[in-house]
Structure 1
Amino acid sequence: MLKHSLLPVEEFTARRQTMLDAMPENSLAIISAAHEVTRSNDTEYPFCQNKNFYYLTGFNEPEAVLLLVKSTPQKSVLFCRDKDPEMEVWHGRRIGPELAKQEFGVDEALSIDELDDYAVDCFAQVSMVMCCFDDNDTMALATDWLAQVSAKSRIGKKAPVNLTNCAELIHELRLHKSEREIALMRKANVISGHAHQRAMKATAPDKFEYQIEAELLHEFAVNGARHAAYNSIVAGGDNANILHYTDNNEALIDGDLLLIDAGGELAGYAADITRTFPVSGKFSEPQKAIYQLVLDAQNAAIAAIEPGNTLASLNDLVCDMLTKGLYELGILTGDLTELIEEKACKQYFIHGLGHWLGLDVHDVGDYHANEKRQQLRPFTAGMVMTIEPGIYIPKGADVDEKWQGIGVRIEDNVLVTETGYENLTVSAPKSIAEIEALMSGVAKTV
């Protein structure tokens, strides 16, 4: 088991082999690690590895590069920092090339100082170079190495004739999760669901949003998810109508709802859960009406997940339900048939229904979107996605005052199985009865 990944080395060697198998003959792929980012003067933000690099290596240090060579011989080569006792005293232990080869299962591991000469030599022996075009640092390396090989044409060196984007290939691999990845994501969801339960039980009028955020972060960390997967949204009252609200600095008001969008990151894998509940522990009738409408739509969408279905189809289902529900509540007016055709609910449901989930919160993978932005990719087993309908009615909206200031989103993480789906978000209560019971102290953490 690799120290930083909770996954065995065999998982990463298999991924590299799958990548090599999919690469064209006589090609070379370059995938670079992330850089440390300065926060203030001589301190850095917590290091977050490049996800494509991590997916293929499990290696969690900066200043590293992976080369996958599809020629004779076929091989994987990891370049990393040398051991340096003086630097390690100040900044922490390094793995070093010798141990990297043993622990990470690559064919070769060399000093990062050897990368330039080694890569130029490889470039002179392949006809295609592959790298992620959205990685400017890797593109700069590839361009420099191509120039170096081209400059040696008079002595018989021949530069590759093709430079190709390999991002889509890696993204397709990442989109379909292995059984080990799924197990990690289940655990990340359980930890994150318990954090939401803890937040519900800690919430009370006059507490501050950041105090509830602290409850979440503590629950993540003590259970092994040391970092949040993204900046937590803890939005009381009308703040819930700001989709990416992360100030988390206002007092909670009796009678308001609290929307929390937060998930822990476990061994690089993200959970992404949203719950909305009353600060006082008891929903008002208008809050209950909006909440139940969103919950019914979410449950219907989740129940429809199976191989072959699409996010576009689920979105149509949800929009029909939300439009009809808002019409019945008097928030939308007019001809119901026309309102449904126009997807009139989008005035209040102002984002997409869901997204892929994995090593990134908004994970990679082609949605097969058309010109109307409909996501038409058929689901297949091993995909994990969020389902997160919402209704947002800010203060000042042109509706009855009782609806104003209500923002509700409910979000679960769902795995596509061979026969249907598995909802991974099993430990975060979401029915009105469950939430009110937990907040009243009647129900216990599950």
Structure 2
Amino acid sequence: MYGISSVSLTPGITALEYAQRRSKLASELPNGAIAILEATDVKWKSHDVFYDFHQNSNFFYLTGKDATGKDHTFYLYVREKDAKAEQWEGVRSGTQAAVDIFNADETGDITSLSTHLKSILSSASKVYTDIPTTKKPDSSFLSRFISPSTASTPFASLLGTTKTSPLNPLLNNLRAIKSPAELSLLRTVGQRSGRALTSAIAQSWPSESSLHNHLSYQFRASGCDKDAYIPVVAGGRNASIIHYTSNNALLKCDDMVLVDAGGQYGGYVADITRTWPVSGKFTTAQKDLYNAVLAVQRHCVSLCRANAGTSLDDLHKIAESLLQQNLSDIGFERDYTGKIRNFIRLFPHHVGHYVGLDVHDTPGLSRKKRLEEGMCVTVEPGVYVPDEEEFPPQFRGMGVRVEDSVGVGEEGPVVFSTEAVKEVEDIEALRR
């Protein structure tokens, strides 16, 4: 891998590490096989107005391109330099940078991809890709360069009889275990995001939108690149809507507000949820429900260690059991089976998911997989009480969730988001 720089290609990740990732993937492929990944295209909101760009995470993971070893060849086809286009759209890497910066073994203008890809495919024993073979020409960035616009299945026609297999399962296994550099980035983005949340808890907010805007500003002011996702800023009963993102209601002094938010830095994200009283001081009922959830969250976080032999599904079962006991202790009724009545309505989601380059990282990776050192997950138990007679009146309409991004360590968990306060005493002390 001569000439591969130790200088960071993206924040905190060197060109050498990206090359090592490609080598690991190559070692998982059969002899003569190839892997094809498609970069994300610009998505348009309306004429001449585009959505915020987010690169295909697998493509980014292997190349470091936001927009090599002796046993494999790294082909990188890009848009060539074009001064006129760059004046409107921004600087392009071009083919020279594909070699000099991204360490491609072979490169070329993507408009000539059809000819090059046919040659590469002709000698392939198998193709690993997640590009749908039935995409219409106008629905795929890659398809526009590999077949005439009249073809109904352009990628399939190019593949011919070559056997294909999904690439995502192989990359999920590689991406699941984070490198020291990735863990450092996750800690950095967790720290910056946590501080932004604590600054929000310390202040009084008249509306969900004002709180939302403060967080977006603080993420960037602290050094994050942008929001990791559209945050949930849910006051009062809005907290019972798991993916509430309207964020436009007034905040009432006697309610709590649930905030699920995080920043992104160097491609890696934080996923944090905090719930606190709008007034700055918990009522007795708010404190009881909050502590019932927090105790479960702390216990499940403590089990995020490699030698515990647990999986995310195991953590979920533990969370359900502990949460039912805690809810029973504060007045929720059990049914004839001994479980909290309508418990699935109170806790309708899983206790955690993988996190990294994506908020829901490595999609498709089983939650039954035992946690290993280097894995990164969220732990987020919650209770959302409907305003209905079967539930204790003092808790009706409340929603509470507590979530941290956590690294799985050999001896114990590494919580990336400790700067976001979550103890009752600490939350109340911020507003005194």
**TM-score of the aligned structures, taking structure 2 as reference length:** 0.90
Distance (Å, rounded) in 1 between the aligned partners of 2:360 and 2:405:
12
SS of the residue corresponding to residue 251 of structure 2 reads coil
Give the Cα–Cα distance (whole angstroms) in 2 for the partners of residues 198 and 420 of structure 1: 28
2:351 is aligned with what amino acid?
L
Is structure 2 residue 299 aligned with structure 1 residue 300? yes
Please list, as runs of the form range in 1=range in 2, the aligned pairs for 1:26-45 lying within 5 A after superposition.
26-45=32-51
Distance 2:29 2:419 in 1: 41
Q: How many residues align?
A: 412
- 1:69-128 residue CA offsets vs partner (Å, 9 max, x unmatched): x9x973001000110011111111111110221111121221112211110011111121
- 1:363-442 correspondence runs (5 A): 363-364=361-362, 366-368=364-366, 375-440=367-432
Match status 1:144 vs 2:132: no
The yes-or-no answer on 1:50 pairing with 2:56 is yes
Alpha-carbon offset, residue 316 of structure 1:
2.0
Native 8 Å contact 2:179 2:374 kept in 1? yes
Partner of 1:275: 274
- Give 2:204's aligned residue: 203
Aligned counterparts of 1:381 and 1:192: Cα–Cα separation in 2: 23
Residue matched to 1:109 = 107
- Partners of 1:213 and 1:73 in 2: CA distance: 49
* SS of structure 2 residue aligned to 1:104: coil
The alpha carbon displacement at 1:57 in A equals 0.6
Secondary structure of 1:39's partner? strand
Which residue is equivalent to 1:238? 237
Contact 2:172 2:365 in 1 (8 A): no
- Written as runs of structure 1 = structure 2, the 5 A alignment for 1:160-199 is 160=162, 162-199=163-200
The CA distance in 1 between the partners of 2:177 and 2:168, in whole Å, is 15
Distance of 1:41 and 1:333 partners within structure 2: 56
Identical columns (%): 33
Q: Of 75, 95, 98, which residue of structure 2 is paired with 1:97?
A: 95
CA drift at 1:365? 5.2
- Partner residue in 1 for 2:321: 320
Gaps spanning 5+ residues in structure 1: where? 62-67, 151-158, 369-374, 441-446
C-alpha distance in structure 1 between counterparts of 2:327 and 2:159, whole Å: 64
Write the letter of the residue equivalent to 1:116. S
- When residues 145 and 233 of structure 1 are mapped into structure 2, their CA distance, relative to the original with a 3 A threshold, is closer
Q: Distance in 2 between matches of 1:6 and 1:191?
A: 15
Q: TM-score, normalised by structure 1?
A: 0.87
The alignment's C-alpha RMSD in Å is: 2.2
Within a 5 Å distance, the mapping from 1:118-157 to structure 2 comes to 118-133=116-131, 136=135, 137=140, 144=154, 147-148=157-158, 150=160
79 and 2 in structure 1: CA distance in 2 versus 1, 3 angstrom threshold: farther
Map 1:342-357 onto structure 2 (within 5 A).
Answer: 345-357=343-355
Q: Secondary structure at the match of 1:78?
A: strand
Q: The residue matched to 2:338 in structure 1 has which SS?
A: helix
1:31–1:405 Cα change, 3 Å: same
Which ranges in structure 2 are unaligned for 5 or more consecutive residues?
1-6, 148-152
CA contact (8 A) 1:172 1:365 kept: no
Q: Give the secondary-structure state (helix, strand or coil) at the position aligned to 1:352.
A: coil
How far the C-alpha of 1:40 sits from its partner, in A, is 2.4
Equivalent residue in structure 2 for 1:18, among 21, 24, 28: 24
Cα 1:397–1:31 change in 2 (3 A) is farther
Question: Counterparts of 1:329 and 1:74 in 2: how far apart (Å)?
Answer: 61
Matched with 1:75 is 73
Which AA in structure 2 matches 1:7?
Answer: I
Runs ≥4 in structure 1, deviation > 6 angstroms? Answer: none
How far apart are 1:313 and its partner, in Å? 2.1
How far apart are the structure 1 equivalents of 2:189 and 2:341?
34
